[in-house]
Amino acid sequence: MAEVPKVLEAMMLMWNERDLEKVRGLIEEIFSEDVIFIDPANSIVGHDAFEKMVREFRTRWPDADLSHASEFDGHHDLYRYHWEIRQKSELLMVGFDVTEVDSEGRVVRVLGFFGPIPSA
C-alpha cells in the first residue's frame, strides 16, 4: 500500500460537500489551476470547469455520498483507487481513478473510469 497524500482524502470531502458556496474554495486548495479531469462523462481543464462539474453532480444527486472503496496503490506521484457513489443505502455507481499529485501536494490530473474492469 502506498503512503497516501492527504489531498486525496480532501478531494473526496470536496465531492461530498453539500454547501456549494464552499466548493470553489476547496477546489482552489486541492487542485492546481490547470487541473485536468477526464472520465466517460467529462473532459475538463481548470478550476471554473471543475466547479461547474461538481455543481452539476450535486444537482443530479444532491444526497449522494462518495467514498473510497479500496486501499490506494501508487508510485511516482500517481495513485490508483476504487470509489463508489451511494445514495442512502443504494449503490449508484462504482469506478476507478488514477490521480496525479504534484510536488506541492496538489492534484494535477484525474483519470476516471466508470464500472468494474471487464473480465478477459
Condensed to tens digits (0 to 9), the pLDDT of residues 30-82 reads: 999 999 999 999 999 999 999 999 999 999 999 999 999 999 999 999 999 99
68 found inside a domain: yes
1 found inside a domain: no
Is 1's pLDDT higher than 60? no
33 found inside a domain: yes
- Look up the domain containing 71 and give its range: 6-114
Cβ count near 43 (within 10 Å): 10
Mean pLDDT of the chain: 95
120 found inside a domain: no
Confidence of residue 2 (pLDDT cuts 50, 70, 90): low
96 found inside a domain: yes
* Tally of structural domains, the chain: 1
Grid coordinates representing 55?
A: 455543481
DSSP one-letter code for 61? -
119 found inside a domain: no
Q: 56 CB contacts (<8 Å, ≥6 apart)?
A: none
Report the CATH number that the domain containing residue 46 is assigned in CATH.
Answer: 3.10.450.50
